[in-house]
Amino acid sequence: MITYIIIFILLFIAELVYFHIADKCSIIDKPNGRSSHSTVVLRGGGIVFLIGIWVWSLFFEFQYPWFLVGLTLVAGVSFVDDIHSLPDSVRLVIQFAAAAMAFYQLGILHWSMWWIILLALVVYVGATNVINFMDGINGITAGYSLAVLIPLALVNLTGVFVAQSLIVSTILASLVFCVFNFRPKGKAKCFAGDVGSIGIAFIMLFLLGHLIIRTGDITWLIFLLVYGVDGCLTIAHRIMLHENLGEAHRKHAYQIMANELKIGHVKVALLYMVIQLIISLGFIYSCPNTMLAHWVYLIGAFAVLAIAYILFMKKYYHLHEQYLATLKK
């Protein structure tokens, strides 16, 4: 416990030091077409996730070195991208290289099954970017991360699949970030930036990878279901609209809640957090521990969320169309 208190204090201090550096170097987030904010805010506060893993490694003897290198690589490039925009091709190459390092750490980088590995890498990188796309309002990244990490920690108590200290340290980093970001619109001290959203995505997917490999059960991806439904269905919606997926937008359900419906950022972030926690805890404690039951639960939960998403968009998407029309005037 004393070690964790020390880690929390160190991360808190590191975040304050970063704010001083970001302020001096003008590392800021200016509003754009995707933004749900209207004022300039410090960017890159999510670097605390990367710092948290480095601090954890120093305290716990660098247990996962290749994972650490991959995380540092992908978060580092994302941080550079936060300051000076990089080509998509550069970021994708780095993301695939970092994912390969995570796979090597997980012990699944066997080129005899190259096509399965390639598919898994595409899913890993794709999921990383979907989680990044979901970072658009105050509190949603840190709050949702806690909704994923807490169930992982609970599962790890009953059947260890990864060092518990790694999960706890990541939770501490999320709590530190919450202090400065889980605030009403206009009150956030900083935003996560790509370094934060990409970094925490990389960490969560690595943890889930451990769990899936240990149990041989891919349905544990249900821990990311809420983000998955909103992120993937929004991408599908944009494809149907023949939009450039690389352009900034505000079409996610959470963005329409925050922007068009004027629901507070904290309330929307809490909604996503609570729904994911309910689904995950139900999966852990209420669902029978059989493959069939897990798949039925996953498909059922996906169907409910997908229907809810479609009904929500049918009722409120016209408000976003009205917003887009005002931009053209």
| Alpha-carbon span 259 to 244, nearest angstrom | 21
* DSSP 3-state of 295: helix
Q: What is the DSSP annotation of 152-207?
A: HHHHHHHS--S-HHHHHHHHHHHHHHHHHHSS-TT--SB--HHHHHHHHHHHHHHH
Residues making up the annotated binding site for Mg(2+) are 132, 194
Q: Find all residues with CB under 8 Å of 311, minimum gap 6, and list them.
A: none
Residues making up the annotated binding site are 132, 194
* DSSP 3-state of 42: strand
| Alpha-carbon span 168 to 203, nearest angstrom | 12
* Whether the Cβ atoms of residue 206 and residue 106 lie closer than 8 Å to each other: yes
CA distances from 41 to 30, 190, 254, 262 (A): 7, 6, 20, 20
| Alpha-carbon span 76 to 198, nearest angstrom | 10
Closest CA to 101 of 56, 65, 54: 65
Phi and psi at 85, nearest 5°, equal -55, 130
Closest CA to 78 of 204, 200, 206: 200
DSSP 222: G
C-alpha radius of gyration, the chain, whole number? 19
Work out the burial of residue 166: count CB atoms within 10 Å of its CB; fewer than 13 is exposed, 13-18 middle, 19 or more buried: buried
